[in-house]
Amino acid sequence: MSVYPEALAEHLEGGATTVCHCWWLMRRDGVTKGFTDHDRPLTVDGTSFQPLTGFSATEARDTLGLAVDTVDLEGALSSDEIDEADIQAGRYDDATVETLLVNWADPQQFARLRVATIGTITRRDGAFVAELKSRMHQLDQVNGRVVTRLCDAELGDARCRFDLDQPGFSAPGAVLSVTTPEILSVSGLGGFRPGWFSLGRVEWTSGSLAGARSFVEVHAKVAESVELSLRLADGPSPEAGDRFVIRAGCDKAFATCKAKFNNPLNFQGFPHLPGNDAAYGHVVDGGIFDGAPLVP
């Protein structure tokens, strides 16, 4: 249940009210924006909220228990504040949104109704609809570790501890030509053996994708050129001349961690984990079963 400041509560109990909604949005990259369904700009708690987006909200609800409450936020892409390319590049995914109830006649009277994160964003007919999920949705996320033979860390993160910026594991490059939006001929990678950057990532430094990342499916040499096969999100496509930095890839197997990265002490998997058939899977004709360890 929302608790309203005394002045706002008295205003809401009156015969007529002058209230509107404001949304304060903070993306994961730290960019913040303010929007309102009022017809004029408002400054609330030091933040400017603009009406140019045509935002509107569906019914919002708060329920008891642990159910995930949702509300849809809809707006036409008609403002310079919202760029469709940013939405398609995923820059608004998991952004934090605070919903405020404001007395537009006296913006000092406001209350924070809820804090949510942006979930699914759909686009149709030049407009977008963003689903706002309450914090309860975090209880639906997998927490803790999953015991598997493969590593569950991300290459280069705090658990992996491998420095991808050292020579030989990252390189700058540029797009020479585009076969399809996902298959590119590139320069700058001639000194690396094919497959070195497979399952790695590309960080775009110029062009329409600047600031975005793409996942590398395959790094191969075709004839005399080097090709990358990427997994691209919806949105702008790479073009000839676009520049990037590429990072080495890892298939998360223990053998790769040891041979390619010399990082077995930080391997975050369980390579010797027995499977369901551990009791008899090792039995083969001619095997020696004298009680010695099967895995030295």
Interval 259-291: pLDDT, tens: 999 999 999 999 988 776 666 666 777 777 777
Listed by start position, the domains of the chain span 6-137, 170-247
176-201 mean pLDDT:
93
pLDDT band for 126, please (50, 70, 90 cuts): low
Q: pLDDT tens across 87-123, in order?
A: 777 778 888 888 889 999 999 999 988 888 877 777 6
Q: Is the pLDDT reported for residue 70 higher than 90?
A: no
Strand partners, 216: 230
- Residue 27, classified by CB atoms within 10 Å of its CB into exposed (0-12), middle (13-18) or buried (19+), is middle
Confidence (pLDDT) at 139:
66
Strand partners, 34: 24
Confidence (pLDDT) at 240:
93
Confidence (pLDDT) at 175:
95
Q: pLDDT tens across 155-185, in order?
A: 999 999 999 999 899 999 999 999 998 999 9
- Cα–Cα distance for residue pair 214/175, rounded to 1 Å: 14
Domain 170-247, CATH: 2.40.10
Confidence (pLDDT) at 142:
66
Q: pLDDT tens across 9-21, in order?
A: 999 988 889 999 8
% of the chain with per-residue pLDDT over 70: 78
Domain 6-137, CATH: 2.40.10
Q: Is the pLDDT reported for residue 57 higher than 60?
A: no
194-207 mean pLDDT:
94
pLDDT band for 69, please (50, 70, 90 cuts): very low
pLDDT band for 136, please (50, 70, 90 cuts): low
Of 164 and 58, the structure prediction assigns the larger pLDDT to 164
126-137 mean pLDDT:
67
Task: Estimate to the nearest angstrom the gap between the alpha carbon of 110 and the chain centroid.
Answer: 31
pLDDT band for 1, please (50, 70, 90 cuts): very low
Q: Which of 132, 166, 167 is nearest to 62 (CA)?
A: 132
For residue 45, CA distances in Å to 23, 24, 107, 153, 274 come to 12, 11, 8, 40, 58
82-90 mean pLDDT:
71
Mean of per-residue pLDDT scores for the chain = 81
Q: Is the pLDDT reported for residue 46 higher than 60?
A: yes
Q: Is the pLDDT reported for residue 130 higher than 80?
A: no
Q: Which of 196, 291, 289, 205 is nearest to 244 (CA)?
A: 205
Of 232 and 21, the structure prediction assigns the larger pLDDT to 21
- Answer yes or no: same fold for 6-137 and 170-247: yes
- Residue 69, classified by CB atoms within 10 Å of its CB into exposed (0-12), middle (13-18) or buried (19+), is middle
% of the chain with per-residue pLDDT over 90: 39
Confidence (pLDDT) at 284:
73
- Cα–Cα distance for residue pair 89/214, rounded to 1 Å: 10
